[in-house]
Amino acid sequence: MDVRIGIQNVSREVVVDSDQTPDAVAKTVSEALAAGGLLTLTDAKGRQVIVPTGSIGYVEVGSEAPRPVGFAQ
């Protein structure tokens, strides 16, 4: 599942491929924003992404459904 984080005053977004459920990611983001400080997410390969909550513009939590491959009919 992809998590896209928009950073204020930066044209590119941070994309994290997470193994967590959408609800777990949303809870982590909500808790980090409420507490201030840092948002820490771990990707599917075990790497940590740390973003200061004051610079977060938006967080988009993707669905767990796999993307279709091939041509649509």
State pLDDT tens for residues 3-31: 999 999 999 999 999 999 999 999 999 99
The answer to whether the CB of 16 falls within 8 A of the CB of 36 is no
Is 3 among the domain residues? yes
pLDDT per residue over 29-60, tens digit each?
999 999 999 999 999 899 999 999 999 999 99
pTM, rounded to two decimals: 0.80
Q: Tell me: pLDDT of 67 over 80.
A: no
Task: Look up the domain containing 13 and give its range.
Answer: 1-37+56-62
- What φ, ψ does residue 64 adopt, rounded to 5°? -85, -5
pLDDT confidence of residue 23:
92
Count of structural domains, the chain: 1
Is 50 among the domain residues? no
* Cα separation, 18 vs 72, whole angstroms: 27
Is 71 among the domain residues? no
Is 72 among the domain residues? no
Q: Name the residue with tokens 């977004």.
A: 13
* Cα separation, 10 vs 51, whole angstroms: 13
